[in-house]
Amino acid sequence: MVARKGLGLRAIAIAGFAAALTAVMPAAHAEDKVVVFAAASLKDGLDAVNKACAADVGETAIISYAASSALAKQIEGGAPADIFISADLDWMKYLSDQNLTKPDTEVKLLGNEIVLVAPKDSTVETKIEKGFDLATLIGDGKLAMGDFKAVPAGKYGKAALESLGVWSSVEGKVAQAENVRAALKLVSTGEAALGIVYATDAHAEPGVKVIGTFPEDSHPPIIYPVAQIADSKDTDMPAFLKCLQSAKAGALFKQQGFTVLTPSN
């Protein structure tokens, strides 16, 4: 049984990695389409916004979803994109420091929370607070997280666990995933006992339940910035950026549990 579980974890991790590579390496840049590279956690909300904005923009955008870290590295390597939406400020800064974005277009678009989730049929209960016994809650299982050295959700999760004084007790139980949606899948399929994901991810996945929300002051603020890529020449890109900040886009993001940080146009 242990061997089967291990194989399952590895299979999901490999599948997630392959999906990320596919997502961020489009065959060719469609000159007549806006190309957006967006954090994986945005998928449900941004897909809805993309459809809603089509009338204003004149088209639906091509959106590639993956970990912000993977997307930033692909943009750095010359991958064709017009807009980047990161799940943290660090990876946006990584690109802007190299003059790969247009700083005057950068906007703090959305906010989020991180939560502790379990498979929907789990009986685990807890209160997330200083020194809570997370290791016992995980037991012999795994704690699914995004890669805590690069993926924003993983970085936020590690920061929260360190702040609460429990990181050292669970570090050896962590199953790192390529992005937050891959971590979510490990929990929903029962491959991991618990997971740390965004509140919006938990909202989108009926196979998990939230058993606790991490205090805001236990981790850096969760902010999703958006910016135009420096070499973008797509004429519809400004209209898409504007629509992302509109009232109708804000309403759709709120439905998924995001906090809207920009005033509506």
pTM confidence score: 0.86
User: Confidence class of residue 264 from pLDDT cuts 50, 70 and 90?
Assistant: low
To the question of whether residue 68 is assigned a binding role by annotation, the answer is yes
pLDDT tens sequence across 92-130: 999 999 999 999 999 999 999 999 999 999 999 999 999
State phi, psi for 81 to the nearest 5 degrees.
-150, 150
Q: In terms of pLDDT, which residue wins out, 15 or 206?
A: 206
Query: What CA–CA distance (Å, rounded) separates 181 from 162?
Result: 22
Look at residue 4 and tell me whether its pLDDT is greater than 80.
no
pLDDT tens sequence across 65-101: 999 999 999 999 999 999 999 999 999 999 999 999 9
For residue 8, the model assigns a pLDDT of: 52
Residue 106 near residue 96 (C-beta atoms within 8 A): yes
What superfamily does domain 114-213 belong to in CATH? Answer: Periplasmic binding protein-like II (3.40.190.10)
Look-up: residue for tokens 């900040």?
A: 245
To the question of whether residue 153 is assigned a binding role by annotation, the answer is yes
To the question of whether residue 218 is assigned a binding role by annotation, the answer is no
To the question of whether residue 54 is assigned a binding role by annotation, the answer is no
To the question of whether residue 41 is assigned a binding role by annotation, the answer is yes
Look at residue 22 and tell me whether its pLDDT is greater than 70.
no
pLDDT tens sequence across 204-259: 999 999 999 999 999 999 999 999 999 998 999 999 999 999 999 999 999 999 99
For residue 261, the model assigns a pLDDT of: 96
**What residue ranges do the domains of the chain occupy?**
35-111+223-260, 114-213
Q: What is the CATH number of domain 35-111+223-260?
A: 3.40.190.10
User: Confidence class of residue 18 from pLDDT cuts 50, 70 and 90?
Assistant: very low
User: Confidence class of residue 174 from pLDDT cuts 50, 70 and 90?
Assistant: very high
What's the order of all strands across the beta sheet hosting 223-228? 62-66, 35-39, 83-85, 223-228, 107-111, 259-260
For residue 32, the model assigns a pLDDT of: 75
Do the domains at 35-111+223-260 and 114-213 have one common CATH topology? yes
